[in-house]
Chain A
Amino acid sequence: MKIEGLSFSYGDKVIFRDFTMESPSSVICIMGPSGCGKTTLLKILCGLLKAGSGKIEGIPEKCAMMFQEDRLLEWMNAHDNVALVTDSDPDPDRILRELGIEPEMQVKEMSGGMKRRVALARALAFRADALFLDEPFKGLDEDLMKKCAKIIAGCKKLTVVSTHSEAEAKALGAQILRLS
């Protein structure tokens, strides 16, 4: 993945000015203080935000974005939330079960950590060529975090993760990119 001369602002607030980076790794962790632009960078990379200027290379066309908020449809169960985004996966429940979630469970009855795993399952089931995960392990205990990190690393896709934790980056075996 290569970024050259990236600029982005929210109105007058400049988030990136002539930002350049290159990484040979397929798993990258973006770290940095709150408000430094981690989420913005993920959204630019997956095409949800348009950069003011700059060039981005090495990003596949089909990307899955796991948002900082779970953004699940609370009126549906876990299976329906995952099945909604995937037409190609014949068994969307497999990934849910792998992450320890009962597919028929209603989202509104889930704990924060369970919702996080459903959001992760949705991103994985989308069958994208790249994963952009914004704080994917928020609300998970260490064991679950390691389990999820193993599943993510096993996908062998370009994966960009935003996190505040060195331990999470280590669990993913990722190259760390620090924003300030």
Chain B
Amino acid sequence: MNLINRPMPKTTKTKTAAAALFWVALWFIASWSIGKELILPSPLAVLKALWGMLGQGAFWASIGMTVLRIMAGYLIGVAAGCLIAFACCTSGVLSALLSPVVKTVRATPVASFIILAMLWMSKGAVPMLMAALIVTPVVWGNLIEAYSSRDMDLDEMALAYRIGNRKWLRFVLIPQILPSLKAACLTGLGFAWKSGIAAEVLSQPKRAMGSNIYYSKVYLETPELFAWTAAVIVLSFLIEILVRRVLKREAGRED
């Protein structure tokens, strides 16, 4: 098989639906073979649990609060990542000062931060902080990389034609680093969502999807645990679609 110059294989809606059906069927077979709902509930049991939860106000309140906490943390993380990257790119002193901190945050296990944060702040603030701490190094790293690998010939052209800092920033630099920022925003979103839910599981704030996942585990309600997890996944997908649309619209404005 020739691997060179092959286009990316196309995924149609039919193929996606068939793939989803395949995995659900596999799940059904696995659950049926094990025969214990406590270990692996069937897709029908999970659907039933989810259906029951949909009618409860507490379910929607948990979703609302979780989205609020994680998205607030995510936005703070994106803003912090941009600001720190800007500081590092413009000042050697600030770069020497801030880069080791961001690298340390990036290397530290999220569980360590969650446990520390639980000692320092209210339960509700922990998921927000975790989302921000996870997103900041991703955005910072991508922006630093994009800035370092920008086309220096264009900078020389900008100098030769004396276009000034403002025009250089808007018309030369930002279009070059925007794709990296966009990629960082999308990657960071997935990380924020995962770390935020993990923080909720460990800190158990009121009205939180993570807390409900934890309680389902404690009370051995495996179908509910799966239902909450499914809700987390669906929400994560929906928010990713939303963020993609916002980024696409913003990129369109730049053009």
Residue of A nearest to B175 (CB): A75
- The answer on a CB contact under 8 Å between A67 and B157 is yes
- Asked whether any CB of chain B lies closer than 8 Å to the CB of A69, the reply is yes
Give the contacting residue for B154; candidates A46, A63, A73; CB below 8 A. A73
Which residues of B161-211 are within 8 A (CB) of A?
Answer: 161-163, 167, 171-172, 175
What 9 new A-B contacts, CB under 8 Å, besides A63-B160, A67-B153, A71-B156?
A: A46-B160, A48-B156, A65-B157, A65-B160, A80-B171, A84-B161, A84-B167, A85-B161, A85-B162
- Chain B positions within 8 Å of A, measured between CB atoms, are 153-154, 156-157, 159-163, 167, 171-172, 175, 255
- Chain A positions within 8 Å of B, measured between CB atoms, are 46, 48, 63-65, 67, 69, 71, 73, 75-76, 80, 84-85, 122, 126
- The answer on a CB contact under 8 Å between B156 and A126 is no
Residue of A nearest to B159 (CB): A48
Tell me, rounded to whole Å, the shortest Cβ–Cβ distance linking A135 to chain B.
15
| A-B contacts, CB under 8 A, total | 36
Residues in B neighbouring A48, C-beta threshold 8 A: 156, 159-160
In the assembled complex, 22 residue pairs joining A and B whose CB atoms fall closer than 8 Å, in A order, are A48-B156, A48-B160, A63-B160, A64-B161, A65-B157, A65-B160, A67-B160, A69-B153, A71-B154, A71-B157, A73-B154, A73-B171, A73-B172, A73-B175, A75-B175, A75-B255, A80-B171, A84-B161, A84-B163, A85-B162, A85-B163, A126-B161
Output the residue of B153, B156, B161, B255 with the most chain A CB within 10 A: B161
Tell me, rounded to whole Å, the shortest Cβ–Cβ distance linking B103 to chain A.
31
A63 to B171, CA, bound (A): 22
Residues in A neighbouring B160, C-beta threshold 8 A: 46, 48, 63-65, 67
Q: Given contacts A73-B172, A75-B175, A84-B171, are A122 and B153 in contact (CB under 8 A)?
A: no
A46 to B162, CA, bound (A): 12
Residues in A neighbouring B163, C-beta threshold 8 A: 84-85
Residues in B neighbouring A65, C-beta threshold 8 A: 157, 160-161
A64 to B255, CA, bound (A): 27
- The answer on a CB contact under 8 Å between A71 and B167 is no
